[in-house]
Structure formats: structure tokens, C-alpha cells
Amino acid sequence: MIWDKHDAAWRARLAAAADYLRAHGHLAAPATTPVGAWLAEQRHLATKNALDAARADALTALAADWRLPHGADWHRKYHLLRVHLASGADPATLTRDTFLAGVKIGSWLHRQLTSWQALAPGQQQLMTALGLTPDTNPLAPARRVRRTFEQTVQLLELFLHREGRAPAARESIRVDGGTVKIGAWLAKTRTKHRTGQLPETHVRLVAALFDGDWTAEDAVPIALA
């Protein structure tokens, strides 16, 4: 009878843990809360092999990682991010300054992905399950697009058609979500030409866009001649 009462109390606490799981998406409840203190006790018993097998199975059925093998703080932050992404949030919108429930989750994610080799295999598996690895890191700076000379000449032509004039040294053009400093590129190209460092094929490509001396600051686009 006494044992039944104890078992009923344990089951009641298990139900409270299930409620916490539904509300928060994890069982990494702070040890300062009743459910967190109870879960901490169960983990301690399990570590000493003193937790009844049936009870351990019940907790495992509730949440496979209930023992928090990577630490309560890590699991709390992981599941906070998991729930956020499960709600339909796009990982691409994450930044290092992203906050979730008062936690700077962006900085936490940055640490995980930049110290990937130091993570335990289980942590790597959990992060991979979210589609977050060093190769898919949404916080990594965008890779610079390396354009050929010919491609940049095409961007210069686009600028000339849009503006009807040559770009000033500090002017740029937006292309595919990026910024190309087309004015600085043209200034550098002019300098190379004057010093004899620009191949003749490149000279002809740029010259074809202007009427007269294309190296002059007031060069006129061919379309306006």
C-alpha cells in the first residue's frame, strides 16, 4: 500500500514532466523548479544505477535525451532553437544577435558551428538533424563572388545604360543582392591601361562602351554619342 502511494506520487511527477515537455519542448527544466528538481533526482539515481528500470524506461519513452548527456544548459538552448525552426522560421534569418526567449541564441549557434570538432558525436547529430552544420552555417559571411573581367564589363554596361554616364570613383551597383564597386573598378582599370598593365583584349572591351577616350573622367557612353 505504501509502495503504491509512492508509485502514484512518482507517476504524478512524471505527468508533470510530460506537461513541462509539451510546454517547453524539452526536459531540461531548471533545478530550482519542482519538476526540475525531481528530474535532477531521477538523473542522479540513474547515474548510480539506482533508478528502477521501469521508471527509467518511462522517462526515456517521454524524451530520449531526458538524462541531458550534454548538460542542461546546452539542451535548453538546443531545444529553444529546435522549436523556433520547427515553427517554420527560416535558418537564413538567424544572425549572431538573434534572441529567443531572452537567450542570445545566435551567439550560441555560432559557438557550436565554429567549434564543431569539439562537440560530442551526439551533439553533432542533434545539430545535423536541424540542418545546421559548418557547411550550412547561416551565420557564415557570404562568400565573395569572383567575377571575370568580361562579367564586370557587362555590369559597367548596365550602369551606363541606367545612368547615361560613367560611374564616379565611389559609385556602386546592386546585383543579385550584392554590391559591386563599379566606379572603383573602372578607375583601377583606367590606371592599369595608362601604365600598360591592361591586356589589349580588355582595352577593347571597355573602349567599345565609350565614345572617344574612355580613360577620361568625363568619358561619354557610346549610346549618348
Same-domain check for residues 12 and 44: yes
Rounded to the nearest 5 degrees, what angle is found at the Cα of 98, between the Cα atoms of 97 and 101? 130
Same-domain check for residues 88 and 120: yes
Q: How confident is the model at residue 223 (pLDDT cuts 50, 70, 90)?
A: low
Does residue 142 sit within a domain? no
Q: How confident is the model at residue 5 (pLDDT cuts 50, 70, 90)?
A: confident
Q: How confident is the model at residue 144 (pLDDT cuts 50, 70, 90)?
A: low
Does residue 217 sit within a domain? yes
Does residue 191 sit within a domain? yes
pLDDT digits 0-9 by tens, 86-106? 999 999 889 999 999 999 999
> What distance in Å separates the CA atoms of residue 56 and residue 61, rounded to the nearest whole number?
9
Same-domain check for residues 120 and 166: no
> What distance in Å separates the CA atoms of residue 221 and residue 213, rounded to the nearest whole number?
10
Does residue 143 sit within a domain? no
pLDDT at 177: 62
Q: How confident is the model at residue 188 (pLDDT cuts 50, 70, 90)?
A: very high
Structural domain tally of the chain?
3
To the nearest 10 degrees (0 to 180), the angle between helices 200-207 and 149-163 is 20
> What distance in Å separates the CA atoms of residue 17 and residue 33, rounded to the nearest whole number?
11
Of 85, 108, 83, which is closest to residue 96 (Cα–Cα)? 108
Same-domain check for residues 124 and 77: yes
Specify which residues 211 forms β-bridges with.
Answer: 220
pLDDT at 46 over 60: yes
For 43-55, what is the mean pLDDT? 94
pLDDT at 142: 56
pLDDT digits 0-9 by tens, 115-142? 999 999 999 999 999 999 999 888 876 5
Q: How confident is the model at residue 54 (pLDDT cuts 50, 70, 90)?
A: very high
For 68-90, what is the mean pLDDT? 93
Q: Could you say which DSSP state residue 189 is in?
A: H
As given in the structure block, the three cell numbers for residue 118 are 569539439
- Rounded mean pLDDT of the chain? 90
Residue 141 burial class via C-beta count within 10 angstroms: exposed 0-12, middle 13-18, buried 19 and up: exposed
Specify which residues 33 forms β-bridges with.
Answer: none
> What distance in Å separates the CA atoms of residue 208 and residue 123, rounded to the nearest whole number?
58
Helix (H), strand (E) at residue 178: strand 178-180
Q: Which of 90-94, 145-149, 194-198 has the lowest mean pLDDT?
A: 145-149
Same-domain check for residues 158 and 220: yes
Please list, residue by residue across 182-205, b when 16 or more beta carbons sit within 10 angstroms of its beta carbon and e when fewer do: bbebbbebbeebeeeebeeebeeb
pLDDT at 140: 74
For 40-52, what is the mean pLDDT? 95
How large a percentage of the chain has pLDDT more than 70? 94
Same-domain check for residues 125 and 157: no
pLDDT at 1: 43
Helix (H), strand (E) at residue 20: helix 2-24
Question: Structural domain of residue 29, as residue ranges?
Answer: 2-62
Does residue 67 sit within a domain? no
